[in-house]
Chain A
Amino acid sequence: MNGSDQRRMGPVPPTAPQNGPSRGRVLVVDDDAALAEMLGIVLRREGYEPAFVSDGNRALGVFQQTRPDLVLLDLMLPGRNGLQICQDIRTQSTVPIVMLTAKGDTIDVVQGLEAGADDYVTKPFKPVELVARVRAQLRRGETGQAESLAIGDVQIDVPAHQVTRDGVPVALTPLEFDLLVALARKPRQVFTRELLLEQVWGYRHAADTRLVNVHVQRLRAKIEKDPEKPEVVLTVRGVGYKAGPP
Chain B
Amino acid sequence: MPGAPGPGRPRTAELERIRRGLRRRAVVARRRVRRVARRSASRAVHAWRSSLQVRIGAITMVVAGTVVIIVSLVLFSQIRDQLLGVKRQAAVDQAQAGVLYAQDEITGIATGDASSVRATLDRTVNALLQRGGAAGDFDVVMTYRSGGREVPGASRAFIYQALPEDLRADVDAGNQSYRYDEIPDAVGEPRASLVVGGPVQGDTAGTEEIELYYVFPLTQEAESLSLIRNTVVISGLALTLFVVGIGVLVTRLVVDPVRRAAGTAQRLAEGQLEERMTVRGEDDLARLATSFNAMADSLQRQITQLEGLSQLQQRFTSDVSHELRTPLTTVQMAADVLHEARGDFPVHVARSAELLKGELDRFEGLLTDLLEISRYDAGAAELDAEPTDLGALVARVAAGMYSLAERHGCELGVDRPEEDVIAEVDARRVERVLRNLVGNAIEHGAGRPVEITLAANRSAAAVTVRDHGVGLSSADAQHVFDRFWRADPSRVRSVGGSGLGLSISLEDARLHGGWLQVWGQPGAGAQFRLTLPLTAGGDLTSSPLPLRPMVIRRQGAPS
Q: Which A residues have a C-beta under 8 Å from some C-beta of B?
A: 1-9, 12, 32, 34-35, 38-39, 41-42, 45, 76, 102-107, 123-128, 192, 194, 205-206, 208-210, 213, 237-239
Write the nearest CB–CB distance from B496 to chain A, whole angstroms.
Answer: 5
| Bound-state Cα–Cα, A124 to B364, Å | 7
B322 lies within 8 A of A9 (CB)? no
| Bound-state Cα–Cα, A137 to B354, Å | 31
B354 lies within 8 A of A1 (CB)? no
Closest residue of B by beta carbon distance from A100: B329
Q: Name the contact of A6 in the complex, choosing from B339, B361, B439 (C-beta under 8 A).
A: B361
Given A7-B496, A38-B334, A76-B322, A237–B387 Cβ distance below 8 Å?
Answer: yes
Residues on A with C-beta less than 8 A from B325 are 102, 123-124
B336 lies within 8 A of A208 (CB)? no
Write the nearest CB–CB distance from A159 to chain B, whole angstroms.
Answer: 35
A209 lies within 8 A of B340 (CB)? no
Chain B interface, DSSP helix/strand/loop, else mixed = helix
Given A3-B362, A103-B321, A106-B382, A127–B326 Cβ distance below 8 Å?
Answer: no
A107 lies within 8 A of B382 (CB)? yes
Q: Which of B313-345 contact A (CB under 8 A)?
A: 318, 321-322, 325-330, 332-334, 336-337, 339-340
Closest residue of B by beta carbon distance from A76: B322
A209 lies within 8 A of B428 (CB)? yes
A124 lies within 8 A of B332 (CB)? yes
Q: Which 8 A-B pairs have the closest CB atoms?
A: A238-B422, A123-B325, A102-B322, A3-B365, A124-B329, A238-B387, A102-B325, A124-B328
Write the nearest CB–CB distance from B405 to chain A, whole angstroms.
Answer: 11
Which of the candidate stretches B289-297, B388-396, B466-474 sits at the interface with the other chain?
Answer: B388-396
Closest residue of A by beta carbon distance from B390: A238
Given A2-B365, A209-B428, A127–B396 Cβ distance below 8 Å?
Answer: no
| Bound-state Cα–Cα, A4 to B402, Å | 12
Residues on A with C-beta less than 8 A from B152 are none
Closest residue of B by beta carbon distance from A39: B333
Write the nearest CB–CB distance from B495 to chain A, whole angstroms.
Answer: 5
Closest residue of B by beta carbon distance from A13: B340
Residues on B with C-beta less than 8 A from A76 are 322
B364 lies within 8 A of A2 (CB)? no
A38 lies within 8 A of B330 (CB)? yes
| Bound-state Cα–Cα, A2 to B422, Å | 27
B336 lies within 8 A of A3 (CB)? no
B330 lies within 8 A of A206 (CB)? no
* 9 sample A-B contacts, Cβ–Cβ < 8 Å, listed by A number: A2-B439, A3-B364, A4-B496, A35-B329, A123-B329, A124-B325, A125-B329, A210-B384, A239-B389
Write the nearest CB–CB distance from A154 to chain B, whole angstroms.
Answer: 25
| Bound-state Cα–Cα, A45 to B340, Å | 12
| Bound-state Cα–Cα, A216 to B227, Å | 96
Given A1-B432, A2-B365, A237–B400 Cβ distance below 8 Å?
Answer: no
Closest residue of B by beta carbon distance from A240: B389
B384 lies within 8 A of A106 (CB)? yes
B496 lies within 8 A of A2 (CB)? yes
| Bound-state Cα–Cα, A102 to B317, Å | 11
Write the nearest CB–CB distance from B513 to chain A, whole angstroms.
Answer: 18
Given A7-B496, A12-B340, A123-B326, A238–B369 Cβ distance below 8 Å?
Answer: no
B358 lies within 8 A of A127 (CB)? no
Given A2-B439, A102-B326, A103-B322, A9–B339 Cβ distance below 8 Å?
Answer: yes
Write the nearest CB–CB distance from A190 to chain B, whole angstroms.
Answer: 11
B337 lies within 8 A of A1 (CB)? no
Given A34-B327, A126-B333, A127-B336, A3–B361 Cβ distance below 8 Å?
Answer: yes
Interface centre among A35, A128, A194, A205 (most CB of B within 10 A): A35
| Bound-state Cα–Cα, A75 to B310, Å | 24
Closest residue of B by beta carbon distance from A193: B427
